[in-house]
Amino acid sequence: MLIRWRGKETRGYASQGEQRLVAFLLVAALAVGIEAQWGHRPVMLLDDVVSELDERHRMVIFDFLKTHAFQVLLTDVEERPLYRDLSPLVPIRLRCHQGWAELASGGWDR
Highest CATH level, class, for 4-109: alpha beta
Share of the chain above pLDDT 90, in %: 17
Residue with the bigger pLDDT between 49 and 107: it is 49
Contact criterion met (CB below 8 Å) for 24 and 49: yes
- Count other C-beta atoms under 10 Å from residue 49's C-beta: 19
pLDDT of residue 29: 94
Instruction: Give the C-alpha separation, 102 to 94, whole Å.
Output: 5
Report which DSSP code applies to 68.
Answer: S
Q: Is the pTM of this model over 0.85?
A: no
Instruction: Give the C-alpha separation, 22 to 2, whole Å.
Output: 11
Contact criterion met (CB below 8 Å) for 42 and 68: no
